[in-house]
A and B are shown apart, each in its own frame.
Chain A
Amino acid sequence: MFKPEQMSRLLIAASKDQMEPVIRELYRHNLFHIEEFVEQGKESYAGFRIGTPLPGASEKSGELIKIRSIANAFSLKKEEMEAAAKERSSAIKTKIESDLPALEREIEDLLAERSKLDAQVKEAESKIEMLRPFAGIPLAMDLYRGYRSIAVFTGYIKSDVSLAAPHEKYFAPSKESNFIVVFTPLQHAKEVENALVSAGFQSVPVPEETGPAQARIDHLNSQAASARSQMDAIAKKLDEIKSGHSEFLMACEELLSSDVEQAEAPLRFATTAQTFVAEGWVPTAKLAEVTEGLNRVTGGKVFTSELEVDLEHDSVPVEYHNPDFAKPTQMLMDVYSRPRYTEVDPTLMVSIVFPVFFGLILGDVGYGLILLVMCFGLRKFLKGEEGRMLLVSLRNASIITIIFGLLFSEFLGFELPWHPIIFSRHLGIGGEAGSSEAAIPALLVMSVWIGVLHITLGRGLGMVNHARQDHGEHRMKAVFANFGWLAVMWGILIAIWANFAIPYMPDLTGLPAIAAGINLGAVIGGILILLGVIFIARESALDIVELPTIISHVLSYTRLVAVGLSSVAIAMVVNYMSIGMFIGPSLENFTLMSIVMIIVGVLVFLIGHAMNTALGILGGGLHSIRLHYVEFFTKFYKGGGKKYNPFGMKRRFTEE
């Protein structure tokens, strides 16, 4: 529960003719995390090489690439598909031989045809763009070219220009820019050009076309339209194929992937001319199962042995070992970093405390219910394992939000018909002045208590981690340093309690004074602080600079109350605006305008609360997890564990 799954190091050695059955058996179990063999020249592995792939690997890889490209063209995503029924792999293998090549050829032909038509459409469109300016001039396109004694100027110009030299001019005005065509004898070309340029002339090349421009444009348009309709027909055919064969394609892809992975496994083993050796990690609980399976499949002709685990130098793959309700939180842990094999696994603690923080911040029955409904509604869209986990954690958080909403007596910002059971958050917005019952100092003190206790837990875990992981002199120093941080924090707390009476916190101001008016509590606090600083400095003198973070990290927990109160305030403001200002007065003096005002009021209510829900989810989730990552984890968590990646595949579309 608080430690990752225990792993054993397994060594498998056999002769090369047993390699294929061993690989198949290991793949079927999906438990063996292969420790890749690297030719580093370790003495025990002198003379070993990495193996060569099993026969048939390259053909299968080629097939796999073709299927994956087809799936890509169809935009089929394996994670989003649900398997209706698993097919037997032997049935698929025969289908691969018979059906797949024809299907692939048909699809490839259709795709090639589609890209050809696409190029045609693009070409037609670019020609149309070039011809468009010439549509306003009543000349055939071939009249612009092929002159020996006439210069032709075609282009955009800012305004019409009158030219001195003999010329023929066509001017087509338009909104964006005017188009001008000038024909002039070659000897006057230069002066005409200067005149045009000084009027803002931008030349446009003449496209290679014949016939009137507008007719040409119509022709090209109809060409593009027919190409597009052909592309639509192809798309429809492709859709038919996709809906008919998508499951078959996914099953093929899964089968071929597993075959290719198994065929390439020898590249990760150490081999000699006649034998092979595979080292890897198996969860200790499943070790007997794996060795028994191997022995059965090879008829006893395999040597397996459990090696010693060196906790210092081996990088053991880490797999979580948590009860089911904590499994969704493992995703949150992976976002930060997987735990190391030797340290405490805080997933269970995060899975309990994170929803509590979320509920404290959001704390409203109405929003909790909205979240719960969203959870069930999103089930259709978020498929796949990660989406499911996210929905489960959302569901847990929404249930705790409803519980806290009942405790705070809040429903969408309205009061429920009972008094808040814990401190009230009802600010007096929209009511008379001074009607706020919110017990803000009490709430803030509660959040500081939560912070103090959470950080104490974190430091305690830090002590446990250092005691487990470090050795020798450094070990005691590190443990005492963590105790020193705790001592400084509690010393500051006791000193504050001895001098000020803070509500809901122990009041030590009444203790007898020892000397010069300094309380006994203050003395104890001072001693603890001094002791703590000495312990911290023993490990590393530079850590003294971090002492103010004690205060800032504890105060950081006040965000639980602050963000929560802001959410309550927004809800109350929305209620006051929609009901107090729009709907209420309209219902009292009912005129025709009132109907409009009531609709506006309802809109304000819906939009306001929708935005507040979104803010609450974002704010609640982010701040709660940030409190864990920054204030809790930095006290004890190192992370950086290697992910457990067993050799095998969870089959969704095929079965043996």
Chain B
Amino acid sequence: MAEAVVASVATEVAVAQASAVGMKAVGAGLAVGLAGIGTGVAEMGIGAAAVGAIAENKDFFGLGLLFTVIPETIVIFGLVVGLLLLF
């Protein structure tokens, strides 16, 4: 009787641990994915404006590229959260 209770508690703990790992994975995925959407939306307008400016003046290429990737910070923070969760 006692072995059955211990066994069921052990499987419950194992199931809880497995679902904790699974939830962490889901959390990491959501972190990176949603942050990616935010970055994409942010770089959309900037990138379009940068392409227009470069079409007018080729010298603007360096600054335009720089402006376009400034929102990368958002997705990097998402990646850091994901890494912290997974490891």
Interface residues of A (CB under 8 A from B): 335-336, 436, 438, 440-441, 444, 552, 555-556, 558-559, 562-563, 565-566, 622-623, 625-626, 629-630
Contacts of A559 in B (CB 8 A): 72-73, 76
A436 near B72: Cβ-Cβ < 8 Å: no
Per the bound structure, the CA–CA distance linking A562 and B75 in Å amounts to 10
Closest to B69 in A: A622
Output the least CB separation between B75 and chain A (Å): 9
A335-B73 contact in complex given A436-B87, A441-B87, A562-B83, C-beta closer than 8 Å: no
Output the least CB separation between A630 and chain B (Å): 7
Q: Which of B57-87 contact A (CB under 8 A)?
A: 62-63, 65-66, 69-70, 72-73, 76-77, 79-80, 83-84, 87
Output the least CB separation between B27 and chain A (Å): 16
Per the bound structure, the CA–CA distance linking A486 and B83 in Å amounts to 29
A562 near B62: Cβ-Cβ < 8 Å: no
Closest to B79 in A: A562
Per the bound structure, the CA–CA distance linking A124 and B41 in Å amounts to 50
Q: In the complex, which of the residues A335, A565, A630 contacts B83, with contact meaning CB atoms closer than 8 Å?
A: A565
A556-B79 contact in complex given A440-B87, A626-B66, A629-B66, C-beta closer than 8 Å: no
Per the bound structure, the CA–CA distance linking A625 and B70 in Å amounts to 11
Q: In the complex, which of the residues B62, B76, B83, B84 contacts A556, with contact meaning CB atoms closer than 8 Å?
A: B76
Contacts of A562 in B (CB 8 A): 76, 79-80, 83
B69 near A626: Cβ-Cβ < 8 Å: yes
Contacts of A440 in B (CB 8 A): 83-84, 87
Q: A552-B73, A630-B70 are in contact. List 9 more A-B contacts (CB 8 A).
A: A335-B62, A440-B83, A440-B87, A444-B80, A444-B84, A555-B80, A566-B79, A623-B69, A626-B69
Output the least CB separation between B64 and chain A (Å): 10
B76 near A563: Cβ-Cβ < 8 Å: yes
7 A-B pairs with least C-beta separation: A335-B62, A440-B87, A559-B76, A562-B79, A558-B80, A562-B76, A622-B69
Contacts of B76 in A (CB 8 A): 556, 558-559, 562-563
- 18 pairs, CB–CB < 8 Å, chain A vs chain B: A335-B63, A336-B63, A438-B87, A440-B83, A444-B80, A444-B83, A555-B77, A555-B80, A558-B77, A559-B73, A559-B76, A562-B76, A622-B66, A622-B72, A625-B66, A626-B70, A629-B66, A630-B70
Contacts of A630 in B (CB 8 A): 70
Closest to B65 in A: A622
Per the bound structure, the CA–CA distance linking A623 and B79 in Å amounts to 15
Per the bound structure, the CA–CA distance linking A556 and B70 in Å amounts to 11
Contacts of B69 in A (CB 8 A): 622-623, 626
Closest to A334 in B: B62
Output the least CB separation between B72 and chain A (Å): 7
Output the least CB separation between B29 and chain A (Å): 14
Interface residues of B (CB under 8 A from A): 62-63, 65-66, 69-70, 72-73, 76-77, 79-80, 83-84, 87
B80 near A623: Cβ-Cβ < 8 Å: no
Per the bound structure, the CA–CA distance linking A66 and B76 in Å amounts to 55
Closest to B78 in A: A562
A626-B83 contact in complex given A335-B62, A335-B63, A555-B77, C-beta closer than 8 Å: no
Contacts of A336 in B (CB 8 A): 63
A556 near B80: Cβ-Cβ < 8 Å: no
Output the least CB separation between A435 and chain B (Å): 13
Per the bound structure, the CA–CA distance linking A336 and B63 in Å amounts to 7
Per the bound structure, the CA–CA distance linking A438 and B84 in Å amounts to 12
Output the least CB separation between A315 and chain B (Å): 21
Contacts of B79 in A (CB 8 A): 562, 566
Per the bound structure, the CA–CA distance linking A276 and B65 in Å amounts to 47
Output the least CB separation between B15 and chain A (Å): 18
Output the least CB separation between A73 and chain B (Å): 22
Output the least CB separation between B54 and chain A (Å): 13
Contacts of B87 in A (CB 8 A): 436, 438, 440-441
Output the least CB separation between A466 and chain B (Å): 26
Output the least CB separation between A652 and chain B (Å): 22
Per the bound structure, the CA–CA distance linking A614 and B66 in Å amounts to 17
A556-B65 contact in complex given A562-B79, A566-B79, C-beta closer than 8 Å: no
Per the bound structure, the CA–CA distance linking A552 and B62 in Å amounts to 24
Contacts of B62 in A (CB 8 A): 335
Per the bound structure, the CA–CA distance linking A629 and B72 in Å amounts to 14
A623-B72 contact in complex given A335-B63, A438-B87, A440-B83, C-beta closer than 8 Å: yes
Output the least CB separation between B35 and chain A (Å): 11
A626 near B80: Cβ-Cβ < 8 Å: no
Per the bound structure, the CA–CA distance linking A552 and B80 in Å amounts to 13
Closest to A443 in B: B83
Contacts of A626 in B (CB 8 A): 66, 69-70, 72
Per the bound structure, the CA–CA distance linking A440 and B70 in Å amounts to 25
Per the bound structure, the CA–CA distance linking A441 and B73 in Å amounts to 19
Output the least CB separation between A433 and chain B (Å): 10
Per the bound structure, the CA–CA distance linking A556 and B80 in Å amounts to 10
Output the least CB separation between A420 and chain B (Å): 16
Output the least CB separation between B50 and chain A (Å): 13
Per the bound structure, the CA–CA distance linking A558 and B75 in Å amounts to 12
Per the bound structure, the CA–CA distance linking A444 and B80 in Å amounts to 8
Output the least CB separation between A640 and chain B (Å): 14
Closest to A438 in B: B87
Contacts of A444 in B (CB 8 A): 80, 83-84
Output the least CB separation between A553 and chain B (Å): 9
Contacts of B63 in A (CB 8 A): 335-336
Contacts of B73 in A (CB 8 A): 552, 556, 559
Contacts of A558 in B (CB 8 A): 76-77, 80
Contacts of B77 in A (CB 8 A): 555, 558
Per the bound structure, the CA–CA distance linking A147 and B55 in Å amounts to 55
Per the bound structure, the CA–CA distance linking A630 and B72 in Å amounts to 12
Per the bound structure, the CA–CA distance linking A655 and B31 in Å amounts to 64
Output the least CB separation between A570 and chain B (Å): 13
Output the least CB separation between A88 and chain B (Å): 35
Per the bound structure, the CA–CA distance linking A565 and B76 in Å amounts to 11
Closest to A440 in B: B87
Contacts of A629 in B (CB 8 A): 66
